[in-house]
């Protein structure tokens, strides 16, 4: 019996080896080499030309953790971290691939988005090599990888170069349930070689959107042989490699006391290292010699986070070998990242912001004072509500601050000067206002500061007070801050006392300032404090803004106002149509019976509530048209 069974096993083994060897030879033949004529690559081969999951020691998969940590697994499973990067399957491709013809300004090619056996494909109207780094000349490509699942979803096709993925030039916007050009999803000036289009997934996105990637450039032009431990942001991104931990707890024979458990719990790390677990991705840093950040370890030398000062220093150091024009351009480009005082104006850089706050440097505040990566079992909120921003429950709002700051000192009318129930007494409404931009929204800054009229005057960043008191001037705020907090007043000019700070910024600001302020006119606490019957003309004006992203946000704000819910408008229309829509919105507002009927000079409303066109034009003529590109 024994002998026979051994024989049987070895013959099976032989067969297995034979089949394995044949499969390997087959794969080697099928695997395209650079010498292949790209035009001959078959659909089948294309489907295989995507990054691979490679689970080598010390790595493990999220599924391996589930048997012992079911709740942690389930809450992670419900998070947007998990679905950040996905292999496209009929189930994960929720975007509209129902024979959707794409022919829109801002996209050079025309093409059809469709499905084959449920799987998304793109068919261009002509054979292209352009798509953008594509090495193939082809019409049809499968879409194999997606990025994002919350606000936007990008799609990637094999480019023909090893496992390099090229970007589909349109992106699906969940909120609007439609495709838009990739360059319209960023703050990008019109008619420039836009940020965001034409990149490969492998060169950059992979660094922060997957778990322990190995980028593996092949040496060929934009060609990579990328592998990842897992697509999306899985357990190991925050807990470190898990295989040894699993072995330790599975193998009852190991003497646990003698083995060190390598698993990392960010909640038990010192504040700096804890913040760096998240900062591995939620930060902006010099990208040279990038390596994945390992949770629990301090940032390597090459993870120098970028600040306005450090970027300025690099520009100055390079001054000797760059032309004055280039130096000036690079200096102006700092505005794409930072406000003039160095605060970030872009989302996704929360680590940089946190480390510039005294609460972190002196108090050890980490991301986990406010966020929770696994929803608690006793949290009554629906999981989808928690997953949106992953904020703590019990400690949301003021409680996250009162862990360190005395409630008897700060959660008081003496400090906030607003009644306890008022939105104007929530700590983060004054100390973390919405002055960052990203993903077609305004987002709370993660640098903790206080309202200050000097800073606002010198940076052009509206104060937290004005972002709620939309109808008030900077002068009004400066007066209050002097009266309430004994702050000195900056030197102000007469418009600072005459025109609402938000209205001024909306008319005179650069594209990113216009985006933030047009968003503010629809923010619930702000409309509760300052009303919503006066603001339609301002949203209407920005319906014809030169920047597509600003127009999109203007339309969203406009539709949130009474009477405009169904307002018809498409932010990608031609300029003459935008003009017509803008005028139609203004006309609709003029006939609104609820609009103000008295003069409100700070809001540029003259006698009878008529728009003071002359003052409006004066402000609008000062619009800051410097080029802004927000490279999120
Ligand atoms: C065979 C069971 C088992 C598996 C599989 C397992 N764990 Fe654990 N894990 C444990 C046990 C038991 C503890 C508690 C150890 C202790 O209290 O010292 C633990 C603790 C943890 C902790 C908390 C450590 C701390 O210091 O607070 C984390 C984080 C963790 N595991 C993550 C993971 C991840 C990630 C995976 C998958 C890669 C995983 N675990 C797979 C059994 C397991
Ligand atoms: C330095 C790290 C980093 C790099 C590199 C990076 N991202 Fe991100 N990305 C982030 C972070 C952090 C967020 C979350 C930001 C937030 O929610 O405000 C994010 C969010 C996004 C989102 C929103 C996801 C959703 O579900 O709505 C998209 C889309 C996105 N990134 C696309 C890209 C693309 C495309 C690339 C490559 C061209 C890229 N990112 C490169 C860190 C990065
Ligand atoms: C984005 C980062 C992140 C990811 C991804 C993540 N965790 Fe966690 N995990 C944390 C943090 C932070 C804590 C500390 C408590 C908290 O914030 O919820 C934690 C705590 C834990 C703990 C300790 C028990 C507890 O709830 O405090 C376990 C076990 C754990 N995680 C397992 C997992 C497993 C298993 C996965 C994947 C299926 C996973 N985690 C994915 C960040 C993460
Ligand atoms: C491997 C990179 C990576 C790590 C590590 C990481 N994140 Fe993220 N995080 C991302 C990306 C990318 C997104 C965008 C995902 C999305 O929103 O679809 C994101 C999204 C988020 C969101 C917004 C979720 C939403 O869509 O509303 C929060 C909050 C967040 N991360 C907090 C944290 C915290 C806190 C930590 C550390 C415990 C952490 N992240 C660790 C990359 C990372
Ligand atoms: C003092 C509390 C606090 C701390 C500390 C904090 N956050 Fe947040 N975070 C918030 C709040 C509140 C929001 C919701 C923002 C909003 O409504 O616009 C948020 C939103 C976010 C978002 C989603 C932005 C978006 O809407 O797309 C990300 C990503 C994020 N935080 C990451 C982090 C990371 C990473 C850290 C640590 C480096 C951190 N946060 C520290 C309070 C905090
Ligand atoms: C982990 C503890 C901790 C948490 C949580 C925390 N802080 Fe702080 N915060 C500190 C410490 C410590 C300082 C420095 C005090 C000093 O310099 O004397 C500080 C400073 C400040 C300052 C002065 C900043 C400056 O630059 O001068 C403000 C404002 C502030 N915190 C507000 C907040 C608010 C609002 C929250 C909640 C969103 C919060 N803090 C959460 C510990 C914390
Ligand atoms: C999140 C919104 C919000 C923020 C931020 C805010 N307030 Fe208020 N404020 C209100 C609301 C709402 C009221 C109405 C009365 C109440 O609820 O207390 C109010 C009332 C007032 C009043 C009395 C009524 C009036 O309009 O004259 C003054 C003065 C005032 N706020 C000044 C400020 C100053 C100064 C700041 C910044 C330091 C500020 N507020 C920040 C919402 C806000
Ligand atoms: C209406 C706006 C407003 C609200 C709401 C508010 N603060 Fe402040 N806070 C300020 C201003 C303005 C300053 C700056 C005072 C100065 O210039 O000295 C400040 C300063 C601080 C400081 C710095 C130290 C100090 O005493 O000057 C801390 C800490 C602080 N606030 C904590 C909080 C906490 C915690 C909450 C919520 C319970 C809160 N604040 C709510 C406006 C506000």
Please measure the distance between the N-terminal and C-terminal CA atoms of the chain and give it in whole angstroms.
67
Q: How far is CA 214 from CA 53, 65, 144, in A?
A: 10, 22, 19
> What span, in angstroms and rounded, lies between the C-alpha atoms of 3 and 19?
24
Lookup: tokens for 239: 């807990």
> What span, in angstroms and rounded, lies between the C-alpha atoms of 632 and 350?
12
Nearest residue by C-alpha to atom 17 in ligand 3: 372
> What span, in angstroms and rounded, lies between the C-alpha atoms of 46 and 526?
52
Q: Ligand 4 within 6 A of 150 CB?
A: yes
Long-range contacts from 588-592, C-beta under 8 angstroms, 24+ separation: 588/536, 588/563, 588/564, 589/536, 589/537, 589/540, 589/563, 592/533, 592/536, 592/562, 592/563
Mean pLDDT of 199-218: 94
Q: Ligand 1 within 6 A of 293 CB?
A: no
Mean pLDDT of 162-188: 94
**602 pLDDT above the threshold of 50:** yes
Mean pLDDT of 137-145: 93
> What span, in angstroms and rounded, lies between the C-alpha atoms of 418 and 504?
25
> What span, in angstroms and rounded, lies between the C-alpha atoms of 278 and 199?
25
501: left (phi > 0), else alpha (psi -120 to 50), else beta?
A: alpha
> What span, in angstroms and rounded, lies between the C-alpha atoms of 627 and 632?
16
**446 pLDDT above the threshold of 60:** yes
> What span, in angstroms and rounded, lies between the C-alpha atoms of 113 and 77?
29
Question: In terms of C-beta density within 10 A (0-12 exposed, 13-18 middle, 19 or more buried), how is residue 363 classed?
Answer: middle
> What span, in angstroms and rounded, lies between the C-alpha atoms of 202 and 194?
19
Say how many Å lie between the CA of residue 550 and the centre of ligand 4: 25
Say how many Å lie between the CA of residue 297 and the centre of ligand 3: 17
Say how many Å lie between the CA of residue 65 and the centre of ligand 6: 37
Q: How far is CA 4 from CA 1, 7, 11, 245, 250, in A?
A: 5, 5, 11, 40, 34
Cis status, amide bond into 516, omega within 30 of 0: no
Which one, of 467, 286, 278, lies nearest residue 354 by Cα? Answer: 278
> What span, in angstroms and rounded, lies between the C-alpha atoms of 281 and 428?
24
Say how many Å lie between the CA of residue 375 and the centre of ligand 3: 10
Nearest residue by C-alpha to atom 10 in ligand 6: 359
Q: Ligand 4 within 6 A of 146 CB?
A: no
Which one, of 86, 88, 290, 51, lies nearest residue 164 by Cα? Answer: 51
Tell me the per-residue pLDDT of 530-547, one tens digit each, with 9 for 90 and over.
Answer: 999 999 999 999 999 999
**4 pLDDT above the threshold of 50:** no
Low-confidence winner among 341-345, 431-435, 564-568, 628-632 (lowest mean pLDDT) = 628-632
Please report which ligand is nearest the Cα atom of 502.
7
Nearest residue by C-alpha to atom 40 in ligand 6: 401
Question: In terms of C-beta density within 10 A (0-12 exposed, 13-18 middle, 19 or more buried), how is residue 93 classed?
Answer: buried
Q: Ligand 2 within 6 A of 204 CB?
A: yes
pLDDT at residue number 199: 82
Low-confidence winner among 28-32, 144-148, 247-251 (lowest mean pLDDT) = 28-32
Which one, of 369, 209, 401, lies nearest residue 275 by Cα? Answer: 369
Q: How far is CA 202 from CA 149, 164, 225, 588, in A?
A: 19, 6, 9, 48
Tell me the per-residue pLDDT of 362-381, one tens digit each, with 9 for 90 and over.
Answer: 999 999 999 999 999 999 99
Tell me the per-residue pLDDT of 385-398, one tens digit each, with 9 for 90 and over.
Answer: 999 999 998 766 89
Q: Ligand 8 within 6 A of 401 CB?
A: yes
Say how many Å lie between the CA of residue 446 and the centre of ligand 5: 6
pLDDT band at 137 (very low <50, low <70, confident <90, very high): confident
Q: Ligand 2 within 6 A of 198 CB?
A: no
**41 pLDDT above the threshold of 50:** yes
Higher pLDDT, 477 or 39: 477
Tell me the per-residue pLDDT of 548-570, one tens digit each, with 9 for 90 and over.
Answer: 999 999 999 999 999 999 999 99
Q: Give me the half-sphere count of Cα atoms (radius 13 Å) on the Cβ side of residue 316.
A: 6
- Of all atoms in ligand 2, which is nearest to the CA of residue 285? 1
Long-range contacts from 430-434, C-beta under 8 angstroms, 24+ separation: 430/464, 430/465, 431/401, 431/464, 433/462, 433/463, 433/464, 433/467, 434/467, 434/516, 434/519, 434/520, 434/523
**26 pLDDT above the threshold of 60:** no
Long-range contacts from 481-489, C-beta under 8 angstroms, 24+ separation: 481/451, 481/452, 481/453, 484/417, 487/452, 487/453, 487/454, 488/454, 489/453
Please report which ligand is nearest the Cα atom of 370.
5
Residue 292 contacts residue 213 (beta carbons within 8 Å): yes
Q: Ligand 2 within 6 A of 387 CB?
A: no
Q: How far is CA 335 from CA 311, 330, 342, in A?
A: 11, 10, 9
pLDDT at residue number 33: 47
Q: How far is CA 443 from CA 150, 283, 345, 371, 429, in A?
A: 15, 15, 9, 15, 12
**518 pLDDT above the threshold of 80:** yes
∠535-538-540 over CA atoms, to 5°? 110
Say how many Å lie between the CA of residue 263 and the centre of ligand 1: 7
pLDDT at residue number 192: 59
Mean pLDDT of 92-99: 93
Nearest residue by C-alpha to atom 31 in ligand 6: 359
Q: Give me the half-sphere count of Cα atoms (radius 13 Å) on the Cβ side of residue 590.
A: 9
Mean pLDDT of 490-502: 97
Q: Ligand 6 within 6 A of 448 CB?
A: yes
> What span, in angstroms and rounded, lies between the C-alpha atoms of 345 and 354?
13
**7 pLDDT above the threshold of 60:** no
Higher pLDDT, 254 or 357: 357
> What span, in angstroms and rounded, lies between the C-alpha atoms of 342 and 626?
18
Q: 5 CB contacts (<8 Å, ≥6 apart)?
A: none
Q: Ligand 6 within 6 A of 574 CB?
A: no
> What span, in angstroms and rounded, lies between the C-alpha atoms of 129 and 212?
31
Lookup: tokens for 556: 């969203």
Question: In terms of C-beta density within 10 A (0-12 exposed, 13-18 middle, 19 or more buried), how is residue 225 classed?
Answer: middle
Q: What percent of the chain has pLDDT over 70?
A: 91
Longest Cα–Cα distance of the chain, Å, equals 105
Which one, of 108, 198, 103, 212, lies nearest residue 154 by Cα? Answer: 198
pLDDT band at 94 (very low <50, low <70, confident <90, very high): confident
């Amino acid at each position: 019996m024994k002998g026979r069974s051994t024989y049987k096993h070895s013959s099976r083994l032989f067969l297995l080896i034979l089949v394995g060897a044949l499969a390997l030879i087959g794969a080697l033949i099928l695997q395209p080499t650079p010498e292949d004529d790209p035009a001959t690559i078959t659909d089948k081969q294309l489907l295989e030309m995507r990054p691979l999951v490679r689970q080598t020691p010390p790595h493990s998969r999220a599924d391996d953790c589930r048997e012992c940590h079911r709740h942690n697994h389930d809450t992670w499973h419900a998070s947007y971290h998990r679905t950040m990067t996905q292999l496209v399957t009929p189930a994960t491709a929720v975007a509209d691939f129902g024979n959707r013809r794409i022919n829109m300004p801002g996209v050079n090619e025309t093409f059809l988005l469709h499905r084959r056996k449920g799987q998304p494909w793109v068919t261009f109207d002509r054979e292209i090599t352009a798509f953008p780094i594509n090495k193939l000349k082809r019409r049809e490509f499968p879409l194999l990888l997606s990025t994002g699942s919350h606000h936007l979803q990008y799609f990637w096709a094999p480019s023909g170069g090893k496992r390099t993925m090229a970007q589909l030039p349109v992106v699906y916007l969940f909120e609007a349930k439609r495709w838009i050009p990739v360059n319209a999803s960023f703050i990008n000036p019109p008619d420039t070689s836009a940020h965001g289009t034409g990149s490969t997934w492998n060169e950059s996105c992979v660094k922060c959107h997957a778990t322990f990637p190995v980028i593996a450039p092949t040496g060929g032009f934009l060609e990579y042989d990328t592998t990842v431990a897992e697509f999306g942001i899985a357990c190991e991104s925050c807990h470190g490699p898990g295989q040894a931990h699993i072995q330790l707890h599975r193998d009852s024979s190991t003497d646990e006391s003698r083995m060190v458990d390598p698993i990392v719990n960010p909640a038990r790390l010192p504040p700096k290292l804890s913040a760096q677990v998240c900062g591995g991705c939620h930060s902006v840093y010099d990208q040279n010699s990038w390596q994945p950040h390992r949770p629990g370890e301090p940032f390597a030398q090459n993870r120098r986070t970028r600040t306005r000062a450090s970027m300025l220093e690099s520009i100055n150091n390079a001054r000797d070998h760059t032309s004055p024009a280039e130096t000036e351009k690079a200096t102006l480009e700092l505005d794409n990242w930072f406000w003039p005082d160095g605060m970030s104006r872009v989302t996704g850089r929360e680590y940089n912001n946190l480390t510039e706050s005294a609460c972190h440097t002196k108090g050890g505040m980490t991301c986990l004072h406010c966020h929770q990566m696994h929803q608690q079992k006793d949290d009554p909120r629906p999981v989808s509500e928690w997953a949106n921003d992953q904020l703590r429950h019990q400690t949301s709002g003021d409680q996250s601050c009162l862990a360190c700051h005395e409630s008897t000192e700060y959660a008081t009318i003496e400090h906030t000067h607003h009644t306890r129930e008022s939105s104007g007494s929530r700590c983060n409404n004054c100390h973390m206002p919405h002055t960052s931009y990203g993903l077609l929204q305004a987002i709370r800054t993660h640098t903790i500061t206080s309202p200050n009229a000097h800073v606002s005057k010198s940076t052009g960043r509206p104060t937290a007070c004005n972002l709620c008191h939309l109808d008030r001037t900077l002068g009004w705020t400066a007066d209050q801050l002097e009266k309430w907090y004994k702050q000195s007043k900056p030197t102000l000019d007469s418009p600072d006392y005459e025109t609402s700070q938000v209205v001024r910024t909306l008319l005179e600001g650069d594209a990113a300032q216009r985006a933030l302020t047009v968003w503010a006119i629809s923010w619930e606490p702000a409309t509760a404090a300052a009303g919503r019957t006066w603001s339609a003309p301002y949203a209407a004006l920005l319906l014809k803004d030169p920047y597509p992203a600003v127009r999109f946000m203007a339309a969203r704000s406009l539709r949130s106002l009474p009477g405009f819910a169904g307002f018809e408008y498409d932010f990608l229309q031609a300029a003459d149509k935008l003009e017509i829509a803008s005028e139609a919105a203004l006309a609709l507002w003029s006939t609104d019976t609820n609009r103000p009927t008295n003069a409100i000079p700070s809001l540029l409303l003259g006698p009878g509530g008529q728009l003071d066109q002359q003052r409006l034009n004066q402000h609008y003529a000062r619009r800051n048209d410097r080029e802004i590109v927000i490279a999120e």
